[in-house]
Structure 1
Amino acid sequence: MVTELMPAAAFPLQSGLVPRGTRAFVFERIFEVFLLLGTLVGVVVVGYMLYNAYRYRSGSGKGHVDEGNRLVLGELPSGSGGGQKLFTSFFMSMVIVVSLVSWTYLTLLYVEEGPADDESLDVEVEGYQFGWRFTYPNGHTTDGVLRVPADRPVQLTITTADVFHNFGITALRVKSDAIPGQETETWFTADEPGTYTARCYELCGVGHSYMSAEVIVMPPDEYEAWYANTTADNATANGSSVDGSVAASSAVAQSVAPQPSLRPAVVP
């Protein structure tokens, strides 16, 4: 956890140098930092290259080398300051790379561990061919629809009833494997209400392309009102029972499966 880091490593967390917030916000900051540094390094390298190309252009007189001053293999050229430029550029590159790796590690450590929030919503996710089943803390189960409140961390415990799947919500930067016989954990926080799509990102059979679910992010008060009317006995999603949804998914799998040929066999 972040609180278990050494004081020197925890300083960037306390000073705000490492971004905190939703997964989407954190990954956006990582992208912006890499884009900024990549652009800066590219400008410096290309600019220095163009400067030297112009400085030592043909006809400038600066590219001419006397026979007695030709370079010798294994020796540093005279007037180069004993390799000062080389060591300076190496040191600066080392500082940039180490700083970037450390900052990225601390950021991804937060993404991996998740926010320390006792008010998070715990939801169990089970994949099957070809759909997603969600179980809430009170035992209520929905099939194909996940309802969560906005501005509240959601902890997902993911598994599968059959083959390998991968649960992902692209817009919320959520992605985790669903492994038979095992459980994986991930989290997300949606900062505003809306409807998102969860898909399977592991090729799992003929109905893989149809394996999706709706993720409905509701205002906190509306979610509490909806959740208060749910129990473990009225497990429905959009008016359809779980068994009915599973049957519908099976029908989808059968519809996309290759159909046997009805043409009579040709006997030679």
Structure 2
Amino acid sequence: MFEYLALAHQVPEEWRAQSAVFSELFFVFLAVGTLVGVVVVSYTLLHLYRNRDDGTDPKGFEAPQLGELPTGQSGGKSSKLFLSFGLSAIIVISLVVYSYGLLLYVEQGPSGDVADEQNMEVEVVGIQFIWQFNYDNGVQTTDTLYVPQGEVVRLAVTSDDVWHNFGAPELRVKADAIPGEYSHTWFIANETGTYDVKCYELCGSGHSQMTAEINVMEEEEFDEWYEKAGANVTETPTPTPDDHGGDEDEGGGHGSQPAHGDAATNARMGVAA
């Protein structure tokens, strides 16, 4: 049928949705922060108790001098200080490396031969105050993006008038819609259902009503809809971003934008599901 639907439906284990990646980052930082906090607070309370003022003169207490590291103190105080510095550095560097690897995956998306075959590309056009979705077979839909479950969906987001911002909070997807440029993002929806889409850039009096939804369908159901909708297309298929020099620039991952003609008219010529 279609190449990206002809492959196995199951998402490879190494592919993870952006929502799963960000959830993992959140819980890892929460766990590490909680553990470090418990250790630091417990250690502080322990020494507050040990060194409390009990009315007697402390013996053998060597107060550190202001502005000097206690390298010459006895009792292992200096070793404890440098041990804490070393552990802190190890924890911070480990979190930075770990986070960078995950965020690099979020930036680039799944890769490999299977990922390239299963990619589904959709052009997203923001128009006051609607969202238009253009598929590579010429199908246009308005305010509803239909996608198959478990597939890599890559979006090329642009605008026909003013700045908008395409965002689907539940899928952790967000991209600027800028006139004359493309912002690229992707997502994988592992569960069927509908997900809310909103505009997150103040774009005019109808900004709060500029909403849409992502309808995640089972593979067979989407296959049937895609074929039926494509057969009903009578207009010239809408050009894809690649047809208009959609190569990403070095700064923000944008390309040039095609001319859409009468945006409001074209947006309302979408094929109903």
The separation in 2 between residues aligned to 1:142 and 1:243, in whole angstroms, is 12
1:221 alignment partner, SS class: helix
Find the counterpart in structure 2 of residue 243 from structure 1: 265
Question: CA contact under 8 A between 2:151 and 2:189: conserved in structure 1?
Answer: yes
Find the counterpart in structure 2 of residue 98 from structure 1: 93
By relative contact order (CA 8 Å, sep 6+), the higher-ranking structure is 2
Following superposition, the deviation at residue 58 of structure 1 comes to 2.0
Find the counterpart in structure 2 of residue 254 from structure 1: none
CA distance change for structure 1 residues 59 and 209 in 2, over 3 Å: closer, same or farther? same
Instruction: Return the letter of the residue paired with 1:216.
Output: N
Q: CA RMSD in A?
A: 2.5
For normalisation by structure 1, the TM-score amounts to 0.76
Find the counterpart in structure 2 of residue 9 from structure 1: none
Instruction: Return the letter of the residue paired with 1:50.
Output: L
Following superposition, the deviation at residue 244 of structure 1 comes to 9.0
Structure 1 runs of 4+ with >2 Å offset? 63-66, 68-78, 231-235, 242-247
Instruction: Return the letter of the residue paired with 1:198.
Output: V
CA deviations on 1:34-84 (whole Å, 9 max, x unpaired) are: 0100100100110001101111112175x7268x96654447363243621
Following superposition, the deviation at residue 94 of structure 1 comes to 0.6
The separation in 2 between residues aligned to 1:50 and 1:57, in whole angstroms, is 10
Does residue 143 of the first structure (1) align with residue 142 of the second (2)? yes
The separation in 1 between residues aligned to 2:50 and 2:89, in whole angstroms, is 28
Alignment of 1:68-87 (within 5 A): 71-73=64-66, 74=68, 76=70, 78-81=73-76, 83-87=78-82
Instruction: Return the letter of the residue paired with 1:58.
Output: D
Question: CA contact under 8 A between 1:169 and 1:196: conserved in structure 2?
Answer: yes
CA distance change for structure 1 residues 217 and 71 in 2, over 3 Å: closer, same or farther? closer
CA deviations on 1:135-192 (whole Å, 9 max, x unpaired) are: 0010110111110000111000000001111100001110011111100100000001
Instruction: Return the letter of the residue paired with 1:233.
Output: T
Structure 2: give runs of 5+ residues left out of the alignment: 1-12, 237-263
The separation in 1 between residues aligned to 2:105 and 2:65, in whole angstroms, is 52
CA distance change for structure 1 residues 75 and 43 in 2, over 3 Å: closer, same or farther? closer
Structure 1: give runs of 5+ residues left out of the alignment: 1-15, 236-241, 248-268
Alignment of 1:205-220 (within 5 A): 205-220=204-219
Question: CA contact under 8 A between 1:20 and 1:26: conserved in structure 2?
Answer: no
Alignment of 1:1-268 (within 5 A): 20-59=15-54, 61=56, 64=58, 71-73=64-66, 74=68, 76=70, 78-81=73-76, 83-116=78-111, 117=115, 118-231=117-230, 232-233=233-234, 243=265
CA distance change for structure 1 residues 92 and 197 in 2, over 3 Å: closer, same or farther? same
How many percent of aligned residue pairs carry the same amino acid? 45
